[in-house]
Amino acid sequence: MSKEVTVEQLLAKAEEPSKDAMRLHPFYKGKIMVLPKCRIRDFNDFAIWYTPGVASPCKEIHKDIDKAYELTNKGNFVAVISDGTRVLGLGDIGPEAGLPVMEGKSLLYKYLGGVDAFPLMLDTKDTKEIIQTVKILQPTFGGVNLEDISHPKCFEILDTLREECRIPIWHDDQQGTALVTVAGLINALKIVKKDIKDVKVALIGAGAANIAIARLIISAGVTAGNIIQVDSKGILHKDREDRETLKEKYKEKWYICQTTNAKGITGDIPDAMKDADVLISASKPGPGVIKKEWVESMADDAIVFAEANPIPEIWPWEAKEAGARIVATGRSDFPNQVNNSLGFPGIFRGTLDVRAKKITDEMCIEAAKELAKVAEDKGITEDYIVPNMDQWEVFPREAVKVGTKAIQQGVARLDLPEEERYKMAEQTIKNAREEVQMLMKEQFIIDPDK
């Protein structure tokens, strides 16, 4: 099969989900709903679940607000919050137009992690209003997933809320992508037999994902001075002409300028990639954003993460022809998919199970290590460095390691043994999946093709 035919087939295949989406979204009118979790034998039971019986748990929570975790579903509620300013690759399309994405995220939370997640679209773009809104929602939710919020404000929102909230705050565009990338990097380096502290890493793009990736790979052991990061104006370094603007408006980029690129390399993407052991690109869709000759200039046994969707910055076979030994993308139809969905369900399952107050970088690293270990247990190869979504044991295993680290760091409200937490996570996720299958079997979820 020629590469030209392969590309055409890939592009045609990439359009199929969009066609199905426009057929099935109006059929189901969305993707999630609310169902009772308590028994309702007859109408007398409402005296237990509502007035007058409900007054008793209310009074208990009034005496101790942490009782909300025991007497309500707070401990399994997660809000998926967005202002619709950076939805997928569509940009600022507004909160209503972003709702299908947040519904989809909530669906993944439930099916993969057994988490009851709700989409909440905010009709504001103001940073302070978003921060205040999240803060006043805390009594209802056990955690918050920020999603598709434009940068640089997404950094301030996350950092402020992580510091000031009493429940865990997570930004999946930053932390989720970073977590799975770190997991893939851990295993890729094992295959090429390179030490993480010695490798030179080129990061192409300086948006939410790659800023977080830089922070997390440093936490995982990459030497900060060995990182060369590139934005739309070139390599980040402390003598950039726009340094005053960076200091004032883009403090995260300025931090990268000060802490990475120890040799003060200047230039653009080709200069960053020369002799690099690892390329991690989270920039604009390709192909052609990353050129073959730039990959050819990388070190032997190069590792390439081309994570743009729907088309990676360079086709995998082009990167391989140019000398890359391992290639990962964001697509499910290529090997080594860097998929956020491998991270956030397990992260939040583990966080909620110990009622953690926050999600630390160390908790993310533990999740990444366990994600890598799941793949290693199966047998890593150049085409298999991270698990697939259908390996559902990923999620309870991640959950346990995340919870353990939360306990060790003193941010957990509950201290339960690992074995007990594994059984709890496994059963919760198993129940969520079986509930969906039961609803389909009984035709409460209707098959549109019948």
Catalytic residue from among 50, 263, 378, 430:
50
Catalytic residue from among 105, 110, 291, 357:
105
Per the CB < 8 A criterion, the answer to whether 205 and 233 are in contact is no
Report the C-alpha gap between 355 and 415 in whole angstroms.
9
Count of Cβ atoms closer than 10 Å to residue 166 Cβ:
10
Q: Exposed/middle/buried for 309, CB within 10 Å: 0-12, 13-18, 19+?
A: middle
φ, ψ of residue 355 to 5 degrees: the values are: 50, 50
Active site residue 69: no
Per the CB < 8 A criterion, the answer to whether 355 and 412 are in contact is yes
Per the CB < 8 A criterion, the answer to whether 72 and 112 are in contact is no
- Contacts (Cβ under 8 Å, ≥6 apart) of 62: none
Count of Cβ atoms closer than 10 Å to residue 129 Cβ:
13
Per the CB < 8 A criterion, the answer to whether 201 and 233 are in contact is no
Report the C-alpha gap between 81 and 170 in whole angstroms.
10
Q: How long is the chain?
A: 450
Active site residue 422: no
Q: How close are the terminal C-alpha atoms of the chain, in Å?
A: 36
Residues annotated as catalytic are 50, 105
